[in-house]
């Protein structure tokens, strides 16, 4: 694959992961900021895919490059899948994750291990220069921990415990997280979709 991708996100944590995951494509991945694009996008979709497409379509108005966007969230089963699609806005966009994470831990007080199941969900959308739109989605299953652990990653990572590693995603190295994460898996699916479209035109 060749060319440039502009990633329609203002989240620096996502940008770092995405650039690592896309490294092997040989394509240059620029954040919106690096591409000099600054837009305020209203994410008023009802699904992760819709929101990812809204972001990618908006930024595609300002560039001829491939544009991709990520819409993601944390679904806690015991809380009826909250905060879900509203994860970034949960308790207010500017509220620190220390407070958001502690709030989720508090809401699960007394809840047993088996009922603390949760998942990160990620939808990736791509808008290609010819107008073609692609979407992919992936998840990682885990549990909400009892305290924050780890300092890598961003957002809800310190409370998202992955049984397979016996660690939170904030305790994993960047490589380990990208191997198993919702974002890593959804982006690898998107790489395949792009290759398929390049080869077949549909």
* 73: contact with ligand ITT by CB under 6 A: yes
Binding footprint of ligand ITT, residue count (CB under 6 A): 21
Q: List b or e across 23-41, with b for residues whose CB sees 16 or more CB atoms inside 10 angstroms.
A: eebebebbbbeebebeeeb
How far is Cα of residue 75 from the mean position of the Cα atoms in its chain?
13
* 153: contact with ligand ITT by CB under 6 A: yes
Judge whether 71 counts as a catalytic residue: yes
CA angle 128, 197, 32 (to 5 degrees): 30
Measured CA to CA, the distance from residue 115 to residue 175 in angstroms comes to 29
* 127: contact with ligand ITT by CB under 6 A: no
Strand partners, 84: 74
* 84: contact with ligand ITT by CB under 6 A: no
Stretch that binds ligand ITT, among 70-78, 104-112, 144-152, 191-199 (CB under 6 A): 70-78
Active-site choice (24, 71, 94, 106):
71
* 58: contact with ligand ITT by CB under 6 A: no
Site for ligand ITT in 154-173 (CB under 6 A): 154-157, 169
In this structure, are strands 117-127 and 167-168 parallel, antiparallel, or unpaired?
Answer: unpaired
Residues found near ligand ITT in the complex (CB under 6 A): 9-11, 14, 43, 70-74, 87-88, 120, 153-157, 169, 181, 183
């Amino acid at each position: 694959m060749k060319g440039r991708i502009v990633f329609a996100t203002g989240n620096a944590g996502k940008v770092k992961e995405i650039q690592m995951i896309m490294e092997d494509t040989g394509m240059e991945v620029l954040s919106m900021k690096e591409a000099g694009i600054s837009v305020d996008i209203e994410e008023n979709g009802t699904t992760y895919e819709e929101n990812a497409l809204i972001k990618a379509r908006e930024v595609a108005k300002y560039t001829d490059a491939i544009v991709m966007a990520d819409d993601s969230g944390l679904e806690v089963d015991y809380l009826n899948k909250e905060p879900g699609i509203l994860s970034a806005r949960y308790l207010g966009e500017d509220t620190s994750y220390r407070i958001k994470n502690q709030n989720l831990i508090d809401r699960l007080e007394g809840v047993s291990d088996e009922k603390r199941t949760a998942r990160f969900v990620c939808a990736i959308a791509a808008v290609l220069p010819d107008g073609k739109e692609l979407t992919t989605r992936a998840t990682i299953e885990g549990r909400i921990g009892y305290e924050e652990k780890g300092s890598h990653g961003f957002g809800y990572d310190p409370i998202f415990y992955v049984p397979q590693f016996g660690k939170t995603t904030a305790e994993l190295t960047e490589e380990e997280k990208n191997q198993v994460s919702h974002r890593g898996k959804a982006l690898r699916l998107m790489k395949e979709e792009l290759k398929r479209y390049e080869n077949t035109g549909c």
